[in-house]
Amino acid sequence: MDKKVLIADDEQNIVISLEFLMKREGYQVEVANDGEEAVRRIRASRPDLVLLDVMMPKKSGFEVCQEIRSDPEMAGIRILMLTAKGRDTEVAKGLALGADAYMTKPFSTRELVDKVRSLLEH
């Protein structure tokens, strides 16, 4: 069965690349443009992995992450956080709140694909 990936980011210019990339890797792709939409879509379609941007309107990536992690039914969902902030305090916070991995922008798409793949294999 195809794995499902949700891309939660408000920047269309990255979404277009991520969407293309994930589809090319053979995943089913869904897109959310803000935090609230992300939570809604995650609850509705239970993706296997979420590419979660930290800075989003309505709800930040941290909040989305915390909300998902507080629901035991969604414990299996992998979360890969993406951020444009390079601060290590933020990385620490993201991981503490339950993200499985963290990537700082700009990242290499190859590494991203590797990371997604390894997260989905486990």
Partner 1 sequence: MQARTRFMLAVVVLFLLMTGPFLLTALIVWVETAGEAREMLVKVLSPHLTLGTLLTAMGFAAGVGVVRVLFRQYVQGLLRMSENLRLMLGANRGFRVQPEGPPEVQQLAVATNELASQRDVLLQDVEAQIGRAKASVELEKDRLAALMSELTQSVVVCNLDGRVLLYNNRARAQFRALSDAPGVAGGGELIGLGRSIYGVFERNLIAHALDTIQQRLRRGAAQAQANFVTTTRAGQLLRVQMAPVLSLAAPALVAAESTAVAAGSVTGVQQNAAAEGDGAGNAGGGAFPAAPEVAAAAVTSERTLTGFILMLDNITRNFETESRRDQMLHNLTEGNRASLANVRAAADMLEFEDLTDEMRTRFRKVVRDEVQAMSQRLDHTANEFADSLKARWPLEEMLGADLIAAAQRRIEARIGLPTKLEEVDESLWVKVDSFSLIQAITYLASRLSDEFEVREVRFRLSAAGRLVHLDLIWSGQAMSTETVMSWELEPMKIEDESSPLTVRDVVDRHDGEMWLEREKVRHRAFFRILLPAATPQEQAEAETYLRGESRPEYYDFDLFAWSEKSHELDDRLLSELSYTVFDTETTGLNPSQGDEIIQVGATRILNGKLLRAESFEQLVDPERPLAPESAKIHGITSEMLRGQPTIDKVLPAFHAFAADTVLIAHNAAFDMRFLQLKEEQTGLRFDHPVIDTLLLSAVVHPNQESHRLEAIAERLGLTIVGRHTALGDAIVTAEVFLKLIPLLAEKGIRTLRDAREAAEKTYYARVKY
Residues near partner 1 (CB under 8 A): 11, 13-14, 16-18, 20-21, 24, 55, 62-63, 66-67, 70, 82, 84-90, 92-93, 96-97, 104-110
CB nearer partner 1, residue 34 or residue 63: 63
Q: Find the shortest distance in angstroms from Cβ 78 to partner 1.
A: 20
3-state secondary structure (DSSP) of residue 8:
strand
CB nearer partner 1, residue 40 or residue 107: 107
The runs of H, that is alpha helices, within the chain are 12-24, 35-45, 61-69, 88-96, 109-121
* Residue 72 preceded by cis peptide, ω within 30: no
CA distance 122 to 18: 22
CB nearer partner 1, residue 28 or residue 69: 69
CB nearer partner 1, residue 1 or residue 62: 62
DSSP state, 74? G
Q: Find the shortest distance in angstroms from Cβ 48 to partner 1.
A: 21
